[in-house]
């Protein structure tokens, strides 16, 4: 299969409407989309990524007004979050419409929905006949793709089309909130932080991190290893240094000045820049044959909490 490249949202949407797979930009990371009504296309997502079938997909809509096409019920709590954060980097878990395929929901009675804010993405989605189900556009378990070149490196020949856009502005996947239960629950950290969510809904709680022993997860990012480069990832605390002796062939990313001796260094001026560059840095290190990546531990607040989650998952044994 030859993977087409296009800058036209209309052309990319024609692939979706014919039951094909299209990678597309969003403000978080690039997604790999299929028409939500096409069983064959949905199955192709799991095959192209090597994604476990019990890992649910997020449905992308072009405007907040289309959410009831996907969600059977929109709770009052969800309405408040939609009003404040849609379009944007927030996914809501809601009771699903009965017609939605189990391939999207991993057999659960709920579905994840989001409305991206990227203008090119929304134009693309508005040209699609139906909402688009999409996980991140990368090989399952690898760092998410934040530019179309990374998508091409992972999925060339596995998918039908890549919609070329700018690099993702945020660089981390969307925040996920479960609004299907009486108390809204933060399932995955993202750019919309717990503190920001609690300004709108003070009752929101953060869930404990799930592991591989759980059954079908409510949302992506809860069960399987994620975000891992081939290099070993080490998380270290500010001021302590990654190790007494810097590993050979090692790289560093963070906001603090590292000690001398790293082969590759990316010092970021702030946490937003750190988040924006994390997955790109992982991929660059792999291309350069780096053996160890030392990541400064971010603070456990704001986007720092999301950064810490991604780094901890990347550092898990595999």
188 known ligand binder: yes
Distance CA(2)–CA(261), nearest Å, equals 43
**What pLDDT is attached to residue 17?**
98
Confidence of residue 53 (pLDDT cuts 50, 70, 90): confident
> For residue 221, is pLDDT > 80?
no
**What pLDDT is attached to residue 217?**
64
**What pLDDT is attached to residue 212?**
45
51 known ligand binder: yes
> For residue 241, is pLDDT > 70?
no
276 known ligand binder: no
Q: Where are the domains of the chain?
A: 4-206, 232-314
Model pTM?
A: 0.92
20 known ligand binder: no
End-to-end CA distance of the chain: 31
287 known ligand binder: no
Distance CA(131)–CA(281), nearest Å, equals 32
Across the range 293-317, mean pLDDT stands at 93
110 known ligand binder: yes
- Which fold does the domain 4-206 belong to in CATH? DHBP synthase (3.90.870)
Report the b/e string of 222-238 with b at 16+ CB within 10 A: bbbebbbbebbbbbbee
- The dihedral built from the CA positions of residue 82, 85, 88 and 89, taken in this order, carries a sign that is negative
28 known ligand binder: yes
- The dihedral built from the CA positions of residue 89, 95, 101 and 103, taken in this order, carries a sign that is positive
- Starting at the earlier edge strand, list the strands of the sheet with 264-267: 232-236, 292-296, 250-254, 264-267
134 known ligand binder: yes
Across the range 139-157, mean pLDDT stands at 96
For residue range 66-80, list pLDDT tens digits in order.
999 999 999 999 999
Confidence of residue 213 (pLDDT cuts 50, 70, 90): very low
**What pLDDT is attached to residue 14?**
98
158 known ligand binder: no
62 known ligand binder: no
Percent of the chain surpassing pLDDT 70: 92
**What pLDDT is attached to residue 239?**
60
Distance CA(15)–CA(95), nearest Å, equals 29
18 known ligand binder: no
**232-314 is a CATH 3.30.300.30 domain:** no
């Amino acid at each position: 299969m030859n993977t087409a490249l296009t800058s036209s949202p209309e052309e990319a949407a024609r692939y979706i409407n014919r039951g094909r797979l299209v990678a597309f930009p969003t403000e978080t990371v690039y997604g790999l989309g299929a028409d939500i009504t096409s069983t064959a296309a949905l199955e192709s997502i799991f095959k192209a990524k090597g994604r476990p079938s019990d890992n649910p997909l997020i449905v992308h809509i072009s405007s907040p007004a289309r959410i009831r096409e996907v969600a059977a019920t929109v709770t009052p709590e969800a309405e408040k979050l939609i009003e404040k954060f849609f379009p944007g980097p927030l996914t809501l878990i809601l009771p699903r419409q009965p017609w939605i395929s189990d391939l999207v929901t991993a057999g659960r009675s709920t579905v994840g929905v989001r409305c991206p804010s990227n203008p090119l993405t929304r134009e693309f989605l508005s040209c699609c006949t139906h909402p688009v189900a999409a996980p991140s556009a990368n090989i399952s378990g690898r760092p998410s793709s934040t530019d179309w070149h990374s998508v091409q490196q992972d999925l060339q020949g596995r998918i039908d089309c890549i919609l070329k856009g700018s690099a993702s502005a945020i660089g981390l996947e969307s925040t996920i909130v479960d609004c299907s239960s009486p108390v809204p629950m933060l399932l995955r950290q993202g750019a919309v932080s717990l503190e920001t969510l609690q300004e709108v809904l003070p009752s929101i709680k953060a869930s404990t991190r799930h592991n591989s022993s759980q059954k079908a997860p409510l949302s992506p990012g809860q069960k399987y290893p994620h975000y891992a480069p081939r290099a070993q990832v080490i998380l270290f605390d500010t001021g302590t240094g990654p190790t007494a002796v810097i590993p050979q062939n090692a790289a560093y990313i963070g906001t603090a000045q590292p000690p001398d001796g790293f082969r590759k260094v990316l010092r970021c001026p702030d946490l937003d820049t750190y988040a924006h560059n994390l997955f790109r840095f992982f991929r660059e290190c792999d291309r350069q044959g780096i053996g160890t990546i030392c990541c400064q531990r971010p603070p456990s607040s704001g986007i720092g909490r999301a950064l810490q989650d991604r780094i901890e998952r990347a550092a898990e044994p595999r």
